[in-house]
Amino acid sequence: MHEFTIAREIARVAIDTGRENDLARVTRVTIRVGAFGHIVPESLTFCFDICTKDTIAEGASLDIHQVAMTYRCRDCDKEVSIEKYDFLCPECGGKNLEFVAGDELYIETIQGEQSDDGD
Amino acid sequence: MTEIRVFEGILAANKRLAEQNRRLFGSRDVLVINVLGSPGSGKTTLLEQTIREVGRTSGLSIGVIEGDVATRRDAERIGALGVPVIQINTAGGCHLDANMLDSVLDELPLSKIDILFIENVGNLVCPAGFDLGEHAKVTVLSVTEGDDKPTKYPAAFLKSACTVITKTDLLAQTNFNMDVAIADLKAINSSLEVFQVCNTTGDGIEAWTQWLLAKRNAGREQDGGDER
């Protein structure tokens, strides 16, 4: 359910940023989301489309860059992705891990058409 | 085509309110703990036991904010122990946010409270994502939920300073493997403190409350939060 809250905030920032920069239309929003956010991309996109309806961001595409749960293994000293939710180092099988990345949740860029763009 | 680089946190509006709450807590010298866990994991019972133990051993005063989808049942249980309590009903919402908290804080006598617990809506997913202005998150995990829950719902455990494993008197009746659970918790979050507690017998309550009181003293010395 928290996808709707997140979609509403993305829409708010996209619309406000678009207005502040004199965009007639927002066409693309790029976000970075870590796996620890437990966010379902399809659900987020569905909610984003609802939240942008009848605004300058209606129809904008939402590009979701996903960041894997990333840890450093203290045993083999490699940086590894935990894809299987097993919290085992895929290189050496160890559990002596140190969190590195995967809790990102931010908007990277907003693209759009300027009010006076010819096309 | 114009591209604007934003790099703004998606929950920045919530974060700003959370920082405002945290400043208020700091100015009133209150340690604030955001308690996460599944429905039925024993969050409210742990708070009842903690209120008794802290009152008995330290004389510090506790306040509680209860978050639930509906009913005042938890607030009535906590209120029966004579501590100030506020119930927030989210009416369907799956987590508390900083704005909900901000809207009830003036109903609490913060200057007279040493430790404030915020019992979040029972859920291991969404509450992990929303900073309320607390100094630490604590996740409650019960033996009856199974030892696989940390790896299935890792975010709450990653963002917590401490996990309290409850219902340890039921270990023999379940297939919960304590070694596996603790190894997984430490793999997800290597700095996580883990306590084992039985709310029914009181076993382990003392170690957990000592951690809490040390946190309270450390916070007073540092005069700052450590929310991840």
In a domain, B224, yes or no: no
pLDDT in the model for residue A19: 96
Q: Is the pLDDT of residue B225 over 90?
A: no
Per-residue pLDDT of B96-137, as tens digits, reads 999 999 999 999 999 999 999 999 999 999 999 999 999 999
pLDDT band at A1 (very low <50, low <70, confident <90, very high): low
In a domain, A40, yes or no: yes
A23: contact with B, CB 8 A cutoff: yes
Whichever domain contains A108, its CATH number is 3.30.2320.50
In a domain, B148, yes or no: yes
CA distances to B134, B167, B223 from B98, rounded to whole Å, are 10, 30, 21
The Cα B173–Cα B161 span in angstroms is 29
For chain B, give the percent of residues with pLDDT over 90.
92
DSSP code for A72: E
In a domain, A20, yes or no: yes
Count of the separate structural domains present in chain A: 1
The interface residues of chain A toward chain B in range 39-68, judged by CB-CB distance below 8 A, are none
In a domain, B226, yes or no: no
Q: Print the domain residue range for B144.
A: 12-219
Count of the separate structural domains present in chain B: 1
Q: Check B152 against A85: CB less than 8 A apart.
A: yes
Identify the residue among A3, A4, A5, A20 best suited for mutation to test binding to B, counting B beta carbons within 10 A and taking the highest: A5
- The encoded tokens of residue B16 equal 């700003």
Q: Is the pLDDT of residue B220 over 80?
A: no
The Cα B10–Cα A111 span in angstroms is 17
pLDDT band at B49 (very low <50, low <70, confident <90, very high): very high
pLDDT band at A117 (very low <50, low <70, confident <90, very high): low
Q: Print the domain residue range for A13.
A: 2-68+102-113
**CA nearest to B136, candidates B76, B70, B208, B219:** B219
In a domain, B3, yes or no: no
Q: Which chain A residues are Cβ-neighbours of B9 within 8 angstroms?
A: 105-107
Q: Which chain B residues are Cβ-neighbours of A73 within 8 angstroms?
A: none
In a domain, A62, yes or no: yes
DSSP code for B123: B
Instruction: Centre a 10 Å sphere on the Cβ of residue B53 and count the other Cβ atoms it contains.
Output: 18
- The ipTM estimated for the assembled molecules is 0.88
Whichever domain contains B55, its CATH number is 3.40.50.300
pLDDT in the model for residue B223: 56
Which residues, including other chains, have CB under 8 Å from residue A102's CB and lie 6 or more apart? A34, A35, A36, A67, A68, A69, A70
pTM for this predicted structure: 0.93
Instruction: Measure CB to CB from residue B4 to each of A5, A110, A117 and give the nearest one.
Output: A110
Q: Is the pLDDT of residue B224 over 70?
A: no
Instruction: Measure CB to CB from residue A37 to each of B129, B151, B187 and give the nearest one.
Output: B129
